[in-house]
Each structure stands twice: as C-alpha cells, then as structure tokens.
Amino acid sequence: MAQQTCQICLEQVDDILTQLCRRTCPAAVCINCTREYIKVKTRSVLQGVVAKLNCPICIRPINLVRWHELLGDKDEEIFQFQERIRVACAVKCPWCSTMQTMLPSPHDSMPPIKLPASLARHIPQLKTLCGRYCRHHLSAQALYSFIRDTFQQYSSQILDTILPLIHDTERRAMLFLRWRRDEPFIKTPCCNADVCFSCHTAGHHTGQPCSSLESNEDIAQCPECKLHFVKSDGCDSMTCFCGQYFSWQNERMVFQFKKISPTSLS
C-alpha cells in the first residue's frame, strides 16, 4: 500500500486512518496523531462534562463505537474519555458515602417490552430514531420527547430498556441525563437509598424544587446537556463543552423561570 500524508503531522506514513466520521469524510490522519488528538481532547474535558469526540479534520461528532473500530476496543485514551463522561452520571450514596455512576452499562440483548398494541406499533420508528441519535443526527431532547409523548406512562420502561443498547457512552449519558431532569428521584444500587439526582441531596423532596442553586442569580444552563454555567464577564455568545451554542442572557432568563415554575417549564 502506498504511503499517504497525514493531514496533522504532514509525514508520509502507512498507518493512515480515513473516513473517520462518514464515508465522504476528507480526513487522512495517522494513528499516532489520532491518539495524540484524543489524549489532548480528553485532558481538556472537565471531569463530569459530557463532551463529544469530534473528527479532528471536519469537526463532526463521531460515535465512540466508531473510534473503537478505528483504534481498537482496548484503546486507553478512549477509555479515559469515557470515564470522564460517566462521572457526570455519578451520585454519592447518603448512607455509605460511595460515589458511583448511575449510567447503565451497555449490553447487546434487548429484553421484550410488554406494550399495548397501540404503542407497540411505534417501536420500528423508535429504532429508527435511536439509530439517528447514535449517529448524532438527532438531539437527546428530540429522542426523549418522542419517547415521552408517544409511550407516556411506559416511557420509563422504554428508557430503561434502550439505554443499555446504546454503546456510545456519550450518547447514552446525554439521554440518561435528559431523562433524569424530568425524573430525578432515584435509589442508589448499593444501599437502595433515596437520592435526588438533580441536586444530589438525600431523600425525595416531592413537590419542592431543588434548592442547591436557588440563591445564585447569575447561572445559566446549556440548552442541550444542561450543564450549569456561571459567568463574570465576556460577551453574550456561549459555547458549551458539548458543542452547543447559546445566548447567555436568554438561557439565564430561562433558568430563572424554571426555578419559579420547575414543572411547567421542564
């Protein structure tokens, strides 16, 4: 095989990776530069922030399963990147003080879902939307809204079933976090203790808003991943770690309204 030029180091090498994010992807990057890129990207991501691992050339997000295909299942840099994402779904048990992620582990088999016939007919569409979501062609909000509005009282059962089938840690975490914004009350797997996932406090404060952030008026949330931001200066245009662009003033106002009416504006 003829050597090709790496678009990052400009060296002529044999181990060139191509078609990183799609079949028409123009990238041609050597394995060493790819691993170094992922290492730098991993170190730049804050612990617990759900970030995407984009193509280094065309900046499109790439499913982490695709990265495993390119670099191998046991690539250490990909593993470290995934571990930082899992922290975003972690809570501390109020009884044993163990910090553990609530993000479901991936598996390949799908247990049968008992649904009324009127809802079961939507499963093919759900599979299609999940495929689009995993390819970064659909947002977590859009997929979650479809599940919630279509399956209604069965939505939690659907989410419990499909989350482990999403092998991309970032995609799985984004959907999990979106779900837990609406249903934050969980039980820890170690002690079966009640915890609010949103404010990480012990107990289920049903009917009362989370109090951990109520005193600060200068907080906004990313409209995509819901990461909280505090800003002291700079312009109104913001870019989240997940890649979402938003207006600081707009999202700050939205966050303040949510504190006033947390259920109607969720």
For 69, left (φ over 0), alpha (ψ -120 to 50), or beta? alpha
Do residues 110 and 188 both lie within one domain?
Answer: yes
Tell me, yes or no, whether 16 lies in a domain.
yes
Residues 160 and 119 occupy one common structural domain: yes
In a domain, 179, yes or no: yes
Do 59 and 126 reside in the same domain of the chain? no
- Do residues 185 and 225 both lie within one domain? no
CATH number for position 27: 3.30.40
Q: What is the pLDDT of residue 171?
A: 96
Q: Which of 196, 230, 252 is the last residue of a domain?
A: 196
Residue 94 in any domain: the answer is no
Q: Is residue 56 part of a domain?
A: yes
Sort residue 7 into left (φ over 0), alpha (ψ -120 to 50) or beta. Answer: alpha
Q: Which two tokens stand for residue 94?
A: 């109020």
CA distance linking residue 247 with residue 254, whole number of Å: 11
Domain that holds residue 8: 4-88
Same domain, yes or no, for 179 and 256?
Answer: no
Minimal CA–CA distance to 249: which of 214, 217, 208, 227? 217
Residue 204 lies in a domain: no
Last residue of a domain, one of 41, 58, 88: 88
Torsion over CA: 250, 255, 260, 263 (sign): positive
**Does 182 share its domain with 146?**
yes
Domain match, 35 and 63 both: yes
Residues of the chain with pLDDT under 70: 1, 211-217, 232, 241, 257-266
Do 169 and 128 share a structural domain? yes
Say whether both 178 and 246 belong to one domain: no
122 & 184 share domain:
yes
- 81 with 123, same domain: the answer is no
146/70 same-domain check: no
Q: How many domains does the chain have?
A: 3
Asked whether residue 203 is assigned to any structural domain, the reply reads no
In a domain, 201, yes or no: no
Per-residue pLDDT at 266: 39
Q: Residue 16 in contact with residue 35, Cβ under 8 Å?
A: no
Domain boundary among 163, 196, 229: 196
pLDDT tens-digit readout, 137-192: 999 999 999 999 999 999 999 999 999 999 999 999 999 999 998 999 999 999 99
Q: Is residue 97 part of a domain?
A: no
Q: d(Cα 249, Cα 169) in Å, to the nearest integer?
A: 31
